[in-house]
Amino acid sequence: MGAVIFSDVHADSVAIGALARCIGSAQFREIFGPVDVLVNLGDLLHRGDRPQETLEKIHTLSHEYRLMSVLGNHDHAYLHGLLVSGSDAASTYRHEQLRDSPLLSIFNNMPMEWVDRGILFVHGGPLELGTQTLRLKCWQRLSHESGDFFTGYHYTAAMAFEALEHRGLSHMCCGHQHENVCCRKTPEGIVQVPLEFRPVTGWGSPDGMMLDAAVVPLDAPTLLRLGGCHGSVPEFGYTDYSSFSFIRMTCRT
């Protein structure tokens, strides 16, 4: 069983296209394993200026793979008409052109979280804090301090592990903050594990794409926060549920 996980595409159709080419190759499956499910951790929308093309590519992927999606805070803001920062005039215009598009049906009844094999997949955080917007799971943020902030409720790693343990879960995979982080709960306490990215052995791409990966064993409770799948170095993850690979793509065309 293998899962590809991505987050925070932010209307970057080039990045999601690169991801599709990467995971669709025989080399990827030989190196990492089968792709039985794609997990979208949210924020398909806002900031980028290709929302229609992005949703079209997601629609295509949903016919090629089993696709599980959870709601991101920017998706939530767009659907509810909430103002958030980060989108220029071109992005705003193109998103408004989508208001009546059938492509938005992907968001119908989209959940805030998905659980599979002991892993909680969520955009922001694991805490049940009611229905106030900035306390929803898609707005929560992993931080060194906890409390209400204008960007969303901040929670600590200790709070996340406690919430997971209460539900009988071991791991959490999230996105939202566009920066990869790995925290593990050990007998000595909670530690942040440095991620050492190395070129993927055996990978060669005809279009010049290069892959670097950092692998983390899932032999202890772990928080896994992915970097964003957008921009010049899109990131995503792969897990076979015994280990987790943080993966970076570079030199895409």
* CATH number of the structural domain spanning residue 229: 3.60.21.10
Pairing of strands 147-149, 152-155: antiparallel
Residue 176 has which token pair? 């939202």
Angle formed at CA 24 by CA 21 and CA 25, multiple of 5 degrees: 90
How many domains does the chain fold into?
Answer: 1
Dihedral-angle region of residue 178 (phi above 0 means left; psi in -120 to 50 means alpha; beta otherwise): left
Q: Is the model's pLDDT at 251 over the cut of 80?
A: no
Whole-angstrom distance, CA of residue 88 vs CA of residue 101: 21
Residue 150 CB burial class (10 angstroms; 0-12, 13-18, ≥19): exposed
pLDDT value for 107: 96
- The pTM (predicted TM-score) of the whole model is 0.96
Q: Identify the three-state secondary structure at position 193.
A: coil
Between 193 and 85, name the one with better pLDDT. 193
The alpha carbon torsion through 178, 78, 48, 247 (nearest 10 deg) reads 30
Tens digit of each residue's pLDDT (9 = 90 or more) over 27-44: 999 999 999 999 999 999
Residue range of the domain that includes 224: 3-250
Q: What's the DSSP call for residue 105? A: G
For residue 83, name the pLDDT band (cuts at 50, 70, 90). confident
- Containing H/E element for 224? strand 222-225
